[in-house]
Amino acid sequence: MKYYCVETIKELKKTMASERSYITHVQTQEESLPYYQKAKLFVQCGIVCLEFFFLQFVCVLMLRAFGVREYFIQSLAVTTVVIGFMFTRNDNSKEKITVERFIQEITEIKGGSANIKYVVYAFVGYVGLLGLRFLLNTFNIDESPLYDNFYKDDQFDISMVLDSVLFSVITEEIALRRSLFNTTKKYTPQWRNYLYPMSALWFGLIHFVNIGTSSFTNVYVFYQMGYGMVMGYFFAIFTDKLGIFPTLVVHFCNNVTAIFMPFTLSFFLVFYSVISAAILGLISIKLLKIDNNKTD
């Protein structure tokens, strides 16, 4: 009898300890960081963005110093260097970085093939948006040019197109957003509370570099920043719930659609932007609901 009582007491202690641990974990997840720590996290993510741009700037300078001025070659080289450096530098895993591990992390689809449908939804949505753009242009409802964004000095600029829809997407997702994610995860155990806002804020703010370095008007650049924050929030949800590769595909679709859109602030540009944001917003809500039932 005494033996069974001792064993029962031990089991009760284990159960109570487990419950205390769970309660502490929940409290830790729900507690908010003090304002100075939030500011510090914001600055740390900003440093990651500065590092991202500094690497690109240095790479371009070095390539030009060696006489490499072909835009496509520059983009390819910069993409390779920036991804390689930032993937290594901002890595939270203790595992050795190998080509196999890099490919595995980049191509992983969280939740398996069952979650591919969300990428398909986004793809269909963007195809529909492009169809709407062409339809309105055909009937002269939206008279803004369709293909002007493909040309520079009256010549088709394939390098610019590839940089917009491919190289920029790859570097922003693999090098920048992954680094912002890992910086946030390393900083606080409540990283889910800050992951999406930090991605949104800095993804929008980085477009500020277009002021004075592009042909865009200042008003259009500020519009870009606002739209970038919205997209940055949704892309963060896609990355967290589905993985890097699905976000790459969705980001690619977004940029392909964008190069057919007006590059001046207008009613139709805002109209298309609202639709694209609604597409990703609805899918993101679905993803968040699924994750509420299966929290990792």
State pLDDT tens for residues 153-199.
777 788 888 888 999 999 999 999 999 999 999 988 888 789 999 99
Alpha helices in the chain (DSSP H): 2-30, 35-65, 71-89, 99-107, 116-138, 158-162, 168-170, 178-187, 192-205, 218-241, 244-258, 267-293
Higher pLDDT: 11 or 201? It is 201
Q: CA 26 to CA 14: how far, in whole Å?
A: 18
Strands 151-152, 155-156: pairing kind: antiparallel
- Give tens-digit pLDDT for 73-102: 999 999 999 999 999 999 988 888 999 999
pLDDT range class, residue 15, cuts 50, 70, 90? very low
Q: CA 89 to CA 267: how far, in whole Å?
A: 43
Q: Which amino acid is at 267?
A: F
Q: CA 82 to CA 53: how far, in whole Å?
A: 9
**Predicted TM-score (pTM) of this structure:** 0.85
CA angle 239, 244, 247 (to 5 degrees): 65
